[in-house]
Structure 1
Amino acid sequence: MTACGGSDDADDKPGSHGRTSKSPSAQASSGKPSAAPSVSAADGRDVGACADGDCEIAVSEKVTFRFKGPRGPATLSVTEVGPNKVAYTVKSGSGRAKGGATGPGQGCITVLRTNGSGNSCGGLGDATRPSPQPDAVVIQAATGEGGTAILHIVSR
């Protein structure tokens, strides 16, 4: 079963746009086992690596972070992650896009452009790094078997 939702609403509300991710030490003390993730990512779990709009990170819990979008600062919030499940919201400028997928090998790709955004959800195959697109930021969220999703953000 695959679920995908998307929108480009213009109802971005002012609020906290700071980083609200947990540090690795906070994750280890959250009561969850501190086992190594079942998947690896080039930038590990370091959401700070995404600030420039180019990263590959593993996430196993809700997290929110800022990155460089086509309209200036953008925010990505992973709202749900679990075994073969990932859901997220992206805010860029006055727009908002949502994506979510459930099932092995599933995921979503969101493309942010200066004039809007678009989503596509479904099978991702081997979930390799998405190709950069001119004047856009591409976000790919892939489900993971062990409850760890892989996020790619590509702007170059």
Structure 2
Amino acid sequence: MGNHPIESLMKTAMESIQQIVDVNTIVGDPVESPDGSVIIPISRVSCGFAAGGSEFAPPDDDKEKGNSGGTPGQAPPLPFGGGAGAGVSVQPVGFLVVGNGTIRLLPVDSNVVVDRLIDTVPDLLDKIAGMFQRKKKASDDIIIARD
């Protein structure tokens, strides 16, 4: 089954998709802002692909007339009909911001308040832990000073 017409259809469609979608479509080119931060756009890419075809039997009157259309001892090539299609969807997800010693993802479409809260939780936990450590150290110093 080498070199069947459906192979050509599929190859053409896949090459077209490959030309449209590359790595820079998903993770865009970085842009440097005036404050030194680097902003990288992030997107979601979805692809769909379909191909199909069918070979048709020759009409009955060609069989009766003896029109084989092929080489002796080999079945004639049957008429082929087919098609292929593809679709690509690119949706922006957010921006990755690298700067000031932090990395943050700024989403394009979501609840910004909830995202900000989630982003601040680690910093808040670090501050609370630091407060407890300072209180413990201060109480240890007081105990040492009494002795």
Judging by fraction of residues, say which structure has more helix. 2
Judging by fraction of residues, say which structure has more strand. 1
Higher relative contact order (CA 8 A, sep 6+): 1
